[in-house]
Structure 1
Amino acid sequence: MAQIIIWIANTIIIIGLLFMALGVFGIYQFNDYFSRILVSAKVDTVGFITIMLGLILKHGFDFFSGKLLLVLALYVITNPIATHAITRSAHISGYRIKKER
């Protein structure tokens, strides 16, 4: 049974890594800054959540998993706030989207 849980946890971690790697290539599909930062924030958040959940499952439910859950909760709260602050400062400073012909 323990081997199956480790296999599932490794699969979840690999899915998170693949999601982040493919997301990096997906960022280049967008032309403007605001679309790119939106995609990068989503890819970063979902990939990090998936990797952390895989690590929690792989390690088992103990004190270490509690620490990982705390880090995960703080990350889920602070990452969208930081992305919003960066995007808002770009908008306030007058950064505009260049229209391509």
Structure 2
Amino acid sequence: MDQWIDLAANLIIIVGLVFMALGVLGIYRFSDYFSRILVTSKVDTVGFITIMTGLIIKHGFEFFSGKILLILTLYMVTNPIATHAITRSAHISGYRIKKER
């Protein structure tokens, strides 16, 4: 049974890594700053949650998992706030989306 749990945890971790890798490609696909920061924040958050969930499953529910859950909670609070602050400062400083013709 432990082999199946390890396999499932490894697959979840791999899905998170693939999601983040595809997100990096998405960063190059978009042309303006605001689209890139949106993709970066979403991919970063979802990929991190997926990888940490895989680690929790892999190591079982013990003290280590509690620490990961604490880190995950702090990350889920601070990452959107940091992304918002960076994007807001770009908007306030006058950075605008260039219109394509």
TM-score of the two chains, using structure 2 as the length reference: 0.97
- Spell out structure 1 runs of 4+ moving beyond 6 A: none
In structure 2, C-alpha distance between the alignment counterparts of 1:29 and 1:17, rounded to whole Å:
19
In structure 2, C-alpha distance between the alignment counterparts of 1:36 and 1:97, rounded to whole Å:
12
Q: Which range moved further: 28-37 or 15-24?
A: 28-37
- Correspondences of 1:70-89 after superposition (within 5 Å): 70-89=70-89
Residue in 1 aligned with 2:47? 47
Residue in 2 aligned with 1:96? 96
Q: Displacement, 1:27?
A: 1.5
| AA at the equivalent of 1:75 | Y
In structure 1, C-alpha distance between the alignment counterparts of 2:4 and 2:19, rounded to whole Å:
22
Q: Displacement, 1:28?
A: 1.6
In structure 1, C-alpha distance between the alignment counterparts of 2:26 and 2:32, rounded to whole Å:
13
In structure 2, C-alpha distance between the alignment counterparts of 1:70 and 1:4, rounded to whole Å:
26
Q: Displacement, 1:38?
A: 0.5
SS of residue matched to 1:28:
helix
TM-score of the two chains, using structure 1 as the length reference: 0.97
In structure 1, C-alpha distance between the alignment counterparts of 2:56 and 2:49, rounded to whole Å:
11
Give ranges in structure 2 of 5+ residues lacking alignment.
none
- Correspondences of 1:16-27 after superposition (within 5 Å): 16-27=16-27
| AA at the equivalent of 1:70 | L
- 1:68 aligns to 2:90 (yes or no): no
